[in-house]
Amino acid sequence: MFTRRLGRSGIPVSAMGLGCWAIGGPWTTRGCGPSGWGKVDDRESIRAIQWAVDAGITLFDTSDSYGCGHSERILGEALSGRRHQVIIATKFGCLFNETTREVTGKEASPRAIRNALEASLLRLNTDYVDLYLFQISDYVLVEAEEVRETLERLVEEGKIGWYGWSTYDPARARIFAQGKHCTLIQHHFNVLEGNPSILSLCEELDLASICRGPLSMGLLTGKFNARTRFPEDDLRSDWNFRDGEEARLLEQLAKIQVVLTVDGRTLAQAALGWLWRRSPRAIPIPGFKTLRQVKEDVAALELGPLSQTQMDEIAVLLGSE
């Protein structure tokens, strides 16, 4: 299995994890509409997770808000009896109603963090979380130190192993990085999108760069076109493939498709390979709803990073030399 080091923790993990956002099923955020990926088959989710563990995947990323607790419950069920084989990352910061599946607000006081962690431990059927991530990406900077110190205390108590922040902002990432047990930053990053300054900060401060959206919510699989439509309970239902941002991304993908797949990879496998070549800190966490998707992504590990020649050609085609 192709592995990478998880930042300061020194923990070796599979070079690709699995993101468990989509398997949370439908849910909403008050005032924002759908936040999930539509209907999901829980049995299929469990089969996919268990197959992935058998294949050597050791990192699973979820959040208490994904499906308002549902993703954590499914992950906990799938890993029953196999908890010791994997690294679990989950997130906190959202308030939600499990019954109505609605996120109702945000909170990160020390008491709220502890309450959220205890609830996550129950849903995940475990007594510790390996990686605990702060999910309020734009949290007030002056209050972030209190969040960090609460997490340090949870490490001392054995409730969590390490922690990080899911954020787009290098200044916020630096504040967390001052903590002894901060070992990662999670951020949106792929061949067409992302903030290179976050990746640079991870390289500078010995942090793992956990790349969410490595397939741009499926767009980088090449399966979408101008006629694509999503169900109303899918957060992508407002995507515009005719003249919106999604159309622009499809145009960019078309420019580099041949280079990405020249060695026989699928587009999804090539997008993962691009991240692995981009930085030794990068650990992508593609999402999934089916076993077939997991099998395709796991096969990318055998293919490894793209060649430097491919990387150079892609940079020229995208105008990012």
Q: In the β-sheet with 160-166, what is the strand arrangement from edge to edge?
A: 18-19, 59-61, 87-92, 129-134, 160-166, 182-188, 208-212, 282-284
Q: Mind listing the pLDDT tens digit for each residue in 25-35?
A: 999 999 999 99
Q: Mind listing the pLDDT tens digit for each residue in 37-46?
A: 999 999 999 9
- Rounded to a whole number of angstroms, the CA Rg of the chain reads 19
Q: If you ran DSSP here, which 8-state letter would residue 223 be given?
A: -
Cα(282)–Cα(146) distance, rounded to whole angstroms?
28
DSSP H helices, the chain, are 42-55, 70-78, 110-124, 141-156, 170-177, 196-205, 245-260, 267-278, 291-303, 308-318
- Confidence at residue 1, expressed as pLDDT on a 0 to 100 scale: 76
- Confidence at residue 167, expressed as pLDDT on a 0 to 100 scale: 97
Q: Indicate if the pLDDT at residue 237 is higher than 70.
A: yes
> Mean pLDDT throughout 261-273?
97
Least confident window among 236-245, 288-297, 305-314: 236-245
Residue 306, helix vs strand vs coil: coil
CA dihedral (84, 283, 195, 112) in degrees, to 10, reads 0
State the pLDDT confidence band at 17, using cuts at 50, 70 and 90.
very high
- Confidence at residue 158, expressed as pLDDT on a 0 to 100 scale: 97
> Mean pLDDT throughout 224-248?
93
> Mean pLDDT throughout 306-319?
97
Cα(21)–Cα(71) distance, rounded to whole angstroms?
7
Q: 3-221+279-289 in CATH: which number?
A: 3.20.20.100
> Mean pLDDT throughout 268-278?
98
- Confidence at residue 321, expressed as pLDDT on a 0 to 100 scale: 60
> Mean pLDDT throughout 210-215?
98
Residue 258, helix vs strand vs coil: helix
Cα–Cα nearest to 233, from 22, 91, 20: 22
What predicted TM-score, i.e. pTM, was given to this entire model? 0.97
